[in-house]
Structure 1
């Protein structure tokens, strides 16, 4: 600044003057003056920047001419300008922060659930003691057959409750077509082990492919049962069933899967009782009629065996990605159940829920109705991963009240309202559980004990058929004789003896 005049090049600004005060004495309303010719007073500069013909709106006052603002006010105004200029960018930033926070929370929660669980003192004491002796009063030999249903209970011919305390013995449903362990122990010894564990019944799965193919079994799979060498798979299944019933153990036969393999994955060909609508996509194809004929071929062998007490019509019906309507399954279950009851009206007919046997809520409005009264038993399956995709999440992460609410909605209402029996035909957990596994198990058994439920543990087997992989859910050691005494047997023994 020199001589009292601002020495800056720049735009012209308009300075308002009255007619009498025109610089040259001429009458005018406004003049356009170059900025460098204005007097260098702050008031004049501020006035010049504030009044104009519209061009000056883009020109901010010089720093020394602006009123002082606090740091927080300047940040707030700059943030407002940033949002005004790019609201989408700001939205994406906030959304990204929320997603990152959610991922971090889920990661920490899953890490906590997957940590190894340390058994409580009571479970540790149980594991160091001999198993309690099975109670004769729970075994089926003390009941008058045939069984039937009365309200929520399974009862004998005299009306005495028979509570299913079952274990699954799989293998005939898998690719080797043979119940597990026959290469290690004679079938009668395995049956005695099951009885010693306290179970009074066995759920025995088979695959439809076993019935249609019925291959001669590999003799290495029955090395401990030399009398079974050279027999076909259907003959071996019958021999295993007879060994169980000779030991005084009731048997419920289960149609587990269409193609002989480990169940249950995402393959739609095995997600229901019939798959002919998939055309050539399925390796093993069957219609509903063929499914029912397979059932008749299997059960024809057991018509004269009174301790084969029931038929579990199909394992974990789910349809294509869990889309099986309950009404469609109920219709098919009635057709198959009635056909089997014409063979022998004494059998109990077990109908599992949809959504991998989790959901029996459809029976509220559309109950299954059989031609023979008092023969229907519903069945649910409950695992730690059950409930995935729901708002409450998997059962491994649920609180007790959330877990119970789902159980009541899905199937326990049938018991609480004394409508029909529900057999929790599959449940299970590993010998060395994670925190999530143990959490699920504790909630489940707290509830099962509270409602005095019928149950079926998955599974007895020490190893899986494919690749001889270790079965982490097993209740026996590799010798198929030594019980695994842990938190699972503690809870099951308590309910058996209740």
Structure 2
């Protein structure tokens, strides 16, 4: 399966709250150009069966972000409508605020679209999404507190019948980062319990060029530096454990109202 992701407007390393790519109206984020681009990409891949979804914009962020603008008809909702009009077959995937860590505003104000049955919300969750929480205290208590915050930020959407896609997570796969290791135990437990769909960041083991430097290693990469094998076999096994549905289709069918199922 392929999901198209509108990442940033200017080529470069992503992301910063001050890079001009973060929110509608920023220096490099022209909403009209963005809408036009979404429609063109949706049209280009119409009837391409393995392209199953389009993520409208990666990690909305920055000093200009606000909920009112997110809901404005010419922004996220209009983006979804443009994609649907150009390609009615793909899922439309919507990001929240604060680097896609916050969808809490949807609890009191649902998205209003002319279609249903193919809207998905996405969440990004890394160790650093929780600040310094994993550096201190009992990991079990930290996990409980973090998951409670996630419930108010995003997980509540599941109880409302909406699909939630963890479209980015990852760890330092060298195994040397203890806080990443603590976070990952909580992450994999929650992913298995809720049977969440996910995408890991990233596959690449290294870069020809990153931020002006050549041959840079990527410790978060699933592949080794030379791309010849797997960097961390244990991590791959953990991914495989949550790769297939754990609850079964009957439980899924009972949990999701028919008018909101994919």
| Selected match of 2:167 from 425, 448, 451 | 425
| Contact 1:274-1:291 within 8 A present in 2 as well | no
- Label 1:481 to 1:299 Cα distance change in 2 as closer, same or farther (>3 A): farther
Return the alpha-carbon distance in structure 2 between the equivalents of residues 396 and 408 of structure 1: 21
Query: Following TM superposition, by how much is the alpha carbon of 1:481 offset from its aligned partner in structure 2, in angstroms?
Result: 4.2
**What number of residue pairs does the alignment pair up?**
234
Counterpart residue number, 1:329? 70
1:272 corresponds to 2:19: no
Secondary structure of the residue aligned to 1:304 is coil
Counterpart residue number, 1:486? 233
| Contact 2:47-2:89 within 8 A present in 1 as well | no
Query: Following TM superposition, by how much is the alpha carbon of 1:479 offset from its aligned partner in structure 2, in angstroms?
Result: 4.0
Return the alpha-carbon distance in structure 2 between the equivalents of residues 349 and 314 of structure 1: 11
| Contact 2:38-2:82 within 8 A present in 1 as well | no
Counterpart residue number, 1:263? 14
| Contact 1:341-1:347 within 8 A present in 2 as well | yes
Unmatched 5+ residue regions in structure 1? 1-249, 276-281
Instruction: Say which structure is richer in helix.
Output: 1
Cα root mean square deviation, aligned: 1.8
1:382-420 Cα offsets, whole Å, 9 max, x none, are 0111133xxxx44554612111111111111111x1420
| Contact 2:174-2:232 within 8 A present in 1 as well | no
| Contact 1:258-1:273 within 8 A present in 2 as well | no
| Selected match of 1:375 from 110, 118, 121 | 118
- Label 1:251 to 1:318 Cα distance change in 2 as closer, same or farther (>3 A): same
Return the alpha-carbon distance in structure 2 between the equivalents of residues 286 and 453 of structure 1: 31
TM-score, length-normalised on structure 1?
0.45
Return the alpha-carbon distance in structure 2 between the equivalents of residues 452 and 462 of structure 1: 27
1:362 corresponds to 2:105: yes
1:172-196 Cα offsets, whole Å, 9 max, x none, are xxxxxxxxxxxxxxxxxxxxxxxxx
1:443 corresponds to 2:220: no
Query: Following TM superposition, by how much is the alpha carbon of 1:287 offset from its aligned partner in structure 2, in angstroms?
Result: 2.1
TM-score, length-normalised on structure 2?
0.83
| Selected match of 1:463 from 206, 217, 227 | 206
Counterpart residue number, 1:403? 146
| Contact 2:205-2:217 within 8 A present in 1 as well | yes
Return the alpha-carbon distance in structure 2 between the equivalents of residues 419 and 368 of structure 1: 13
**Structure of greater Rg:** 1
Return the alpha-carbon distance in structure 2 between the equivalents of residues 286 and 484 of structure 1: 36
Return the alpha-carbon distance in structure 2 between the equivalents of residues 252 and 352 of structure 1: 14
Query: Following TM superposition, by how much is the alpha carbon of 1:376 offset from its aligned partner in structure 2, in angstroms?
Result: 0.7
Map 1:184-333; keep pairs closer than 5 Å. Answer: 250-275=1-26, 282=27, 285-320=28-63, 324-331=65-72, 332-333=75-76
Return the alpha-carbon distance in structure 2 between the equivalents of residues 268 and 395 of structure 1: 27
- Label 1:316 to 1:306 Cα distance change in 2 as closer, same or farther (>3 A): same
